[in-house]
């Protein structure tokens, strides 16, 4: 039995899902058939592996390449032209929404369990300047609620798990915060999981005091940089560059790296206009996915 990625889309909300299933079906579009550019950030649900640029090396070339990479990772979105909208509309006609076809998707999966893994920022919510204001819409919440009625659904984020929960507010989901280092199952147990034991897994708990200490140092050392924002994500921390003058990015990155030099057990990675400080343990979102699949008995 071959496994294929299935892309499903909804013309009303503009949501796209990529689902690994066991068999292909004429009902669905394969991942290779990408839709024309969509309506913008926050309108898609995708499962993708983010390219992270390690910047723990010593030379400034690395810093420069990281700054370039960060610029490219979160480009300004332009409104789609009428021609593009036409393309999108005709694409949508040929590829009907799968959000109204969950029964058919389950049937096409031929008994295989489908599990939904969703990112939060830029996926369920639009990218905004203030990380505390990255709210998801009621329509998106309703869609995720519907999804979770059919499939075990997990939100996997770089953020603190409690923060993600405060945005999503759906108790029936699995949440993996801090880049997968803080995993918790539904508080009332899950209809999908074998056994009554609730899922809770925190492989980096020994790093909690260290991350807290580094977070405080970073807040202090960056306080004179206009626009900077340091976020404590419990088992990791983020330094936000989005509102900092781009001419200052290289300098700010050096400052962040100077703090990290005292912490060989921590590493720096790069996201969308953000530098992330994480433990060096061999655990990431991918491992969290494997853990959840395992605990769901797949
Ligand atoms: O790996 P992710 O789950 O995508 O988490 C990465 C970071 O996501 C959040 O920051 C991003 O969204 C913010 C709100 O839209 C935006 O202001 C920021 O520029 C983006 O990088 C979160 O706030 C960070 O802590 C995560 O590291």
pLDDT at 142 over 90: yes
Which protein residue's CA is at the shortest distance from atom 5 of ligand 1? 158
Q: Residue for token digits 């830029």?
A: 122
Strand partners, 18: 7
Look at the domain 206-279 and name its fold.
Alpha-Beta Plaits (3.30.70)
Atom of ligand 1 nearest to the CA of 242: 19
Domain coordinates in residue numbering, the chain: 96-203+283-295, 206-279
CA of 131 to the centre of ligand 1 (A): 7
The predicted structure's pLDDT at residue 39: 43
ipTM of predicted complex:
0.98
Which protein residue's CA is at the shortest distance from atom 1 of ligand 1? 158
Atom of ligand 1 nearest to the CA of 129: 17
Our mutation pick for probing the ligand 1 site, out of 43, 272, 283, counting the most ligand atoms within 8 A of Cβ, is 272
Q: Residue range 5-27: average pLDDT?
A: 39
Q: In whole angstroms, what is the distance from residue 211 CA to residue 141 CA? A: 31
Our mutation pick for probing the ligand 1 site, out of 48, 50, 119, 121, counting the most ligand atoms within 8 A of Cβ, is 121
The predicted structure's pLDDT at residue 68: 78
Atom of ligand 1 nearest to the CA of 127: 15
Atom of ligand 1 nearest to the CA of 240: 19
Q: Determine contact, residues 134/125, Cβ cutoff 8 Å.
A: yes
CA of 121 to the centre of ligand 1 (A): 6
* Secondary structure percentages of the chain, helix, strand, coil, to 5: 35, 20, 45
- Domain 96-203+283-295 carries which CATH code? 3.40.50.1000
The mean predicted confidence, pLDDT, of the chain is 81
Q: Residue range 268-283: average pLDDT?
A: 97
**Equal CATH topology for 96-203+283-295 and 206-279:** no
Catalytic site residue from 10, 86, 119, 162: 119
SS3 44: coil
pLDDT at 194 over 90: no
CA of 71 to the centre of ligand 1 (A): 14
pLDDT (tens digit per residue) in 33-73 = 556 554 443 333 333 344 444 555 556 777 777 777 777 77
Least confident of 59-63, 204-208, 213-217: 59-63
CA of 112 to the centre of ligand 1 (A): 33
User: What is the DSSP-derived secondary structure letter of residue 14?
Assistant: -
CA of 267 to the centre of ligand 1 (A): 17
Q: In whole angstroms, what is the distance from residue 204 CA to residue 288 CA? A: 12
CA of 240 to the centre of ligand 1 (A): 8
Which protein residue's CA is at the shortest distance from atom 2 of ligand 1? 158
Q: In whole angstroms, what is the distance from residue 174 CA to residue 164 CA? A: 11
Atom of ligand 1 nearest to the CA of 133: 14
The predicted structure's pLDDT at residue 296: 84
119 is catalytic: yes
Pocket of ligand 1 (CB under 6 A): 50, 119-121, 127-129, 131, 134, 157-159, 231, 233, 238, 240, 242, 271-274, 276
DSSP string, 111-157: TPPP-EEE--BTTTB---SSGGG-PPPHHHHHHHHHHHHHS-EEEE-
Q: Determine contact, residues 34/16, Cβ cutoff 8 Å.
A: no
Confidence band of 13 (pLDDT split at 50, 70, 90): very low
Which protein residue's CA is at the shortest distance from atom 11 of ligand 1? 121
């Amino acid at each position: 039995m071959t496994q294929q990625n299935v892309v499903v889309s909804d013309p009303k909300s503009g949501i796209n899902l990529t689902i690994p299933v066991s068999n292909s079906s004429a009902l669905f579009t394969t991942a290779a058939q990408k839709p024309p550019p969509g309506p913008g950030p926050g309108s898609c649900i995708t499962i993708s592996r983010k390219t992270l640029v390690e910047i723990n090396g010593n030379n400034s070339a690395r810093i420069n390449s990281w700054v370039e990479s960060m610029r490219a990772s979160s480009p300004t979105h332009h409104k789609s032209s009428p021609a593009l909208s036409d393309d999108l509309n005709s694409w949508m006609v040929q590829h009907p929404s799968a959000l109204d076809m969950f029964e058919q998707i389950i049937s096409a999966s031929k008994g295989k369990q489908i599990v939904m893994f969703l990112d939060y920022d830029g996926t369920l919510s639009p990218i905004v300047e203030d990380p505390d204001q990255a709210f998801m819409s009621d329509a998106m919440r309703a869609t995720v609620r519907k999804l979770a009625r059919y499939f075990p659904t997990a939100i996997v984020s770089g953020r603190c798990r409690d923060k993600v929960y405060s945005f999503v507010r759906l108790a029936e989901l699995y949440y993996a915060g801090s880049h997968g280092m803080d995993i918790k199952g539904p508080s009332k147990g899950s209809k999908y999981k074998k056994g009554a034991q609730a899922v809770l897994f925190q492989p980096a708990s020994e790093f909690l005091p260290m991350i807290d200490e580094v977070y405080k140092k970073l807040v202090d050392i960056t306080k004179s940089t206009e626009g900077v924002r340091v976020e404590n994500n419990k088992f990791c921390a983020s330094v936000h560059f989005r509102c900092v003058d781009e001419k200052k990015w290289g300098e700010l990155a050096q400052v962040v790296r100077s703090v990290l030099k005292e912490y060989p057990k921590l590493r720096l990675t790069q996201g969308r206009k953000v530098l992330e400080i994480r433990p060096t343990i061999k655990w990431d979102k991918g491992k969290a996915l494997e853990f959840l699949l395992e605990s769901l008995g797949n």
